[in-house]
Amino acid sequence: MYNSCSNRCNFVLLSRLNFQQPGKDIVPVRHLITKESGKAPASEWRLPTALKPIHYVVRLQPITGGNFSILGHVDIEIEVVETTTNVTLNMYAIDALEQSIKVEPAGGGAGVGIQSTSFDAIREFYTVQLDEALYFALTQFEAIGARRAFPCFDEPSLKATFDITLGRLDTMTAFSNTPIKSTTPIGGQPGWSWDEYETTVLMPTYLLAFVVSDFAQNTTTTSTGLPYGVVARQQTIANSKYALDKGPQVLEFFEIYFQIPYAEAKMDMVATLDFSGAMENWGLILYGEDVMLYDPAVNSLDDKQWVMRFIAHETAHQWFGNLVTMGWWSHIWLNEGFAEFLEYYGTDFVSDIYHWSNNGQRYLMGYYPGSHDS
């Protein structure tokens, strides 16, 4: 909680976040649910409504080796909706290196250093060591993980635009929600470069994402010229052909079905290790390898159907969940219920296996009511 200004102001921070390879020293923590657990009103966990974020400028440099840290900087433009004496935002496991954080009128500002003191492998960054001791970093910010990377207004209704810059080794590639605008060397750090990305559409913090890795990419375009790519490990990129073929088709289907164009400037689908299910980050969907990659020499038709359903589901989220977002997590069924139902329509349109219309009807009659349980 920090002193505020009136009208619009900038909140500027430099950050450092430590992370580590999951291993035997990482012990899962499970919270017991008791009769007392639900008594605290949700409002106690919500941010005040006097302020709302307008725009973030975020610069992050994952050090995928050595001390496994992330250096960063965030500049937040804030609109003052109501008179207030405080700026309150979400920040977890981040400590100020200098004892002064300034909030100044927009157009001016000052930054200080911050340093993370802990790491949560489930909510924040995954680092996986392969046989050749190569590391990669990726994000999973839903539901409340963004606050572990940088101070922010980490609630689904508080949408803003983002300018992202990622630092990476020249031997690696970085992906975020939007196309790369420019790449420049990092001064004083030979072998490192900054990738600056186009400004995102208006979106909540939980949909922000990035991947820094040595993965390979194959690309195509939709019929309207939208860049569309698949990203996977060098050893598995050949198995992304089915996803690259069907992904653009299902995206174009939903554009026609909703009569609303896809909002971002590109789409990439990333298949990665140690990732459960998939995450519908806007323009950068993340999948576990088992739900995006298909090898006809090894996988069954059931596996192929499973891949197609996941692609259709996550693509539907680009409208239900991303474009139209619930105000709070108690209404997550608005995201998942509609995406679950619409995945059958998308799959039915592009599937080369069989028609899924009956499955969609069964879902509507039997399973859909259960999706309202939030």
Q: Is 198 a catalytic residue?
A: no
Q: Which residue among 124, 255, 314, 340 is the active-site one?
A: 314
Instruction: Tell me the two tokens of residue 198.
Output: 């186009």
Tell me phi and psi for residue 351, to 5 degrees.
-70, 140
Q: Are 173 and 215 in contact (CB under 8 A)?
A: yes
Q: Are 335 and 324 in contact (CB under 8 A)?
A: no
Select from 228, 259, 247, 235 the least CA-distant residue to 308.
247
The CA dihedral of 292, 197, 252, 285, to the nearest 10 degrees, is 20
Flag whether 313 is marked binding.
yes
Residue type (1 letter), 4: S
The CA dihedral of 42, 45, 47, 53, to the nearest 10 degrees, is -100
Instruction: Tell me the two tokens of residue 285.
Output: 């969907």
The structure tokens 């101070």 sit at: 151
Flag whether 317 is marked binding.
yes
Instruction: Tell me the two tokens of residue 331.
Output: 């209404």
Q: Are 122 and 30 in contact (CB under 8 A)?
A: no
Sign of the Cα torsion 222, 162, 325, 307 reads positive
Residue type (1 letter), 328: W
The structure tokens 């359903």 sit at: 309
Determine how β-strand 180-185 pairs with β-strand 216-221.
unpaired
Residues identified as active-site:
314
Query: Residues marked as binding?
Result: 313, 317, 336
Binding residues for Zn(2+), by number, are 313, 317, 336
